[in-house]
């Protein structure tokens, strides 16, 4: 949009007035100023720059475009920074911004760059440990030698490692090594083979009764994988029928 001749003259008058305002405020705030001198920028302009008509400047601003008004403000800020000390400059700019806001509500906010949002903190890396021979394709891994187990997704550990106990080292009680798949899940299971022993949160991975379930990791099992209560709940919630189990 082209600016009218009147609007251009208004901006030039505003710029000249800005310079006069700076000089007046510089005198007012100088250490040698008299005690009767006001520290108010408007009073300073009136006292030391009588030719600068503040009301006329307001009218001139309204006759011009917002962008021109902001350019005049920027000129004022630049000159104030060069001539005045930081406190004086801040007072004068606050005064002028008040005038601009009265004519163009929100102008300062529209022309002030928004601070960049702080980047979200990176998630804490999963604990690093040796996953041994467990392949990335496995959903749950059991390391019998170290008595630990963990959940993973495409090789990325998502839970664990947690302490477990597996079967006793006898042929009839040993937990088998190899690749298996979750076949069924029973939340409130009991062992019919071992005197109705409780097997909460059972996750079966063979057809011979081998399963993950809640039990003491300090006690060897008859072939199942014992998990603490919280770990058993997590495994039960996360593992689904068909998920891959790797035991080594």
For this structure, is 134 an active site residue?
Answer: no
Known catalytic residue at 210: no
Q: What's the angle, vertex CA 132, arms to CA 131 and CA 137, rounded to 5?
A: 70
**Angle CA(107)–CA(26)–CA(55) in degrees, nearest 5?**
45
Pairwise CA distance, residues 95 & 42, whole Å: 8
Cβ neighbours, 10 Å, residue 219? 9
* Identified catalytic residue from 134, 210, 224, 226: 224
| Angle ∠(240,245,246) on CA atoms, nearest 5 | 165
Please pick, among 141, 210, 213, 226, the residue that the annotation labels catalytic.
Answer: 213
Q: What are phi and psi of 197, to 5 degrees?
A: -60, 135
Reply yes or no: is the peptide bond before residue 94 cis, omega within 30 of 0.
Answer: no
> Which are the catalytic amino acids?
213, 224
């Amino acid at each position: 949009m082209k600016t009218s001749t009147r609007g251009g003259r208004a901006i030039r008058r505003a710029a000249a007035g800005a310079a006069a305002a700076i000089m007046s405020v510089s005198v007012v705030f100088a250490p040698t100023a008299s005690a009767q001198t006001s520290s108010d920028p408007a009073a300073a302009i009136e006292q030391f720059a009588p030719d600068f008509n503040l009301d006329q400047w307001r009218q001139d601003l309204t006759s011009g475009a917002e962008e021109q008004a902001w350019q005049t403000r920027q000129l004022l800020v630049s000159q104030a920074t060069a001539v005045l000390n930081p406190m004086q400059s801040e007072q004068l700019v606050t005064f002028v911004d008040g005038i601009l806001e009265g004519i163009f509500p929100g102008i300062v906010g529209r022309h002030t760059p928004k601070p960049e949002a702080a980047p979200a903190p990176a998630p804490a890396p999963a604990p690093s440990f040796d996953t041994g021979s467990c392949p990335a394709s496995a959903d749950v891994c059991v390391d019998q030698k170290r008595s630990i187990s963990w959940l993973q997704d495409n090789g990325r550990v998502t839970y664990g490692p947690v302490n477990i106990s597996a079967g006793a080292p006898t042929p009839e009680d040993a937990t088998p090594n190899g690749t298996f798949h979750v076949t069924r899940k029973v939340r409130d299971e009991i062992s019919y083979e071992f005197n109705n022993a409780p097997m909460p949160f059972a996750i079966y991975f063979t057809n011979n009764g081998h399963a993950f379930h809640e039990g003491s990791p300090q006690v060897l099992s008859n072939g199942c994988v014992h998990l603490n209560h919280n770990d058993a709940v997590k495994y039960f919630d996360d593992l689904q029928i068909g998920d891959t189990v790797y035991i080594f």
